[in-house]
Amino acid sequence: MSLPDRHMTEGERRIRSFHPHWKRLVAPLLALVIIVIASSAVIFFMPAFEYDFYAHIAVLVIAVGLLTVWSFVPYLRWKNTSYMLTSHRFTISTGVLNKSIDDIPMTKVNSVSADQTLMERLLGCGTLTVESASEQGQIVLRDIPEIQDVRAELFRALDDATDGEPSDRGEPSGRGGR
């Protein structure tokens, strides 16, 4: 999704890749349905007159413009926003035409918090706040799906980063004096 495997460092493993929660697409989908119904009704009920062909074209042009702004662009923003959690970093990738990629190294993360409204709890999403000692400082990520799972995996990755090596659950770490 956000970072091809060829851009990962040696020993780095992908833990989770995801987009923002689908609830961001509810308003664009509603806009799509309303615009299609409204423009169809206008064209259907428009009385016949000398320049009705041009009026129909004008309605279609306006409908396509509204669909582009209120449905297609928000969908592209959602589709081109991705998050990737690896054993070494948390990557946030955004942008449709221009791409912006922010990496937060696990060794720089100071704190992680999750907030959920009642509706977000019902939908299984929430706001993740990651505070780091890097230039970004505090990053607030809204509409993170499966927020509690992402938070737990982030804490596991932080634990592994502070231990100095990622652990494969169930295997010995190879450390010790023997």
Statement: residue 174 has pLDDT above 60: no
E strand or H helix at 115: strand 109-115
Average pLDDT, rounded, for the chain:
88
- Binned at pLDDT 50, 70 and 90, residue 107 comes out as confident
Statement: residue 172 has pLDDT above 90: no
**In whole angstroms, what separates CA 90 from the centre of its chain?**
13
* DSSP state, residue 33: H
Q: How many CB atoms lie within 10 A of CB 106?
A: 20
**23-32 residue pLDDT tens:** 999 999 999 9
**108-153 residue pLDDT tens:** 888 899 999 999 999 999 999 999 886 768 889 999 999 999 999 9
Burial of 99 (0-12, 13-18, 19+ CB in 10 A): exposed
- Please tell me the distance from the alpha carbon of residue 28 to that of residue 72, in angstroms, as a whole number: 8
- Please tell me the distance from the alpha carbon of residue 128 to that of residue 109, in angstroms, as a whole number: 13
The predicted pLDDT at position 165 comes to 54
The predicted pLDDT at position 68 comes to 97
The predicted pLDDT at position 65 comes to 98
- Please tell me the distance from the alpha carbon of residue 37 to that of residue 28, in angstroms, as a whole number: 14
* DSSP state, residue 72: I
The predicted pLDDT at position 61 comes to 98
pTM: 0.80
CB of 110 closer than 8 Å to CB of 157:
no
**60-69 residue pLDDT tens:** 999 999 999 9
